[in-house]
């Protein structure tokens, strides 16, 4: 099953929005970029952990894709969780 990049981005954006609602924080967004864990982002480390686990779980349940967004390869990136687009790139670049 080939998953479209747009569908993955939608999943990531939905999870970011759900967590920001749950923790009652305001998202910083410029066009299609949502800032997550960066100077412009408002997620703290706990929220980031929740986000990563929810994305991984959703990918497994909905698409039968088992990946780790905290793998050595992912962690070697400069700012892997800075924005929704950098998280999307981690997913796309993973070997699923």
pLDDT of residue 2: 78
- Provide the residue count of the chain: 96
Q: Is the pLDDT of residue 70 over 60?
A: yes
E-assigned strands of 1-96? 28-30, 33-35
pLDDT of residue 74: 78
Give φ, ψ of 31 to 5 degrees. Answer: 55, -120
CA distances from residue 57 to 29, 47, 64 in whole angstroms, order as listed: 25, 15, 9
Residue 35: strand, helix, or coil: strand
* Inter-residue contact 48 to 86 (CB < 8 Å): no
């Amino acid at each position: 099953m080939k998953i479209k990049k747009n569908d993955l981005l939608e999943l990531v954006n939905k999870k970011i929005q759900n967590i920001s609602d749950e923790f009652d924080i305001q998202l910083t967004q410029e066009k299609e970029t949502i800032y997550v864990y960066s100077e412009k982002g408002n997620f703290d480390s706990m929220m980031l952990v929740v986000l990563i686990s929810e994305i991984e779980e959703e990918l497994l349940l909905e698409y039968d894709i088992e990946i780790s967004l905290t793998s050595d390869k992912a962690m070697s990136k400069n700012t892997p969780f800075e924005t929704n687009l950098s998280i999307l790139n981690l997913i796309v670049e993973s070997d699923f």
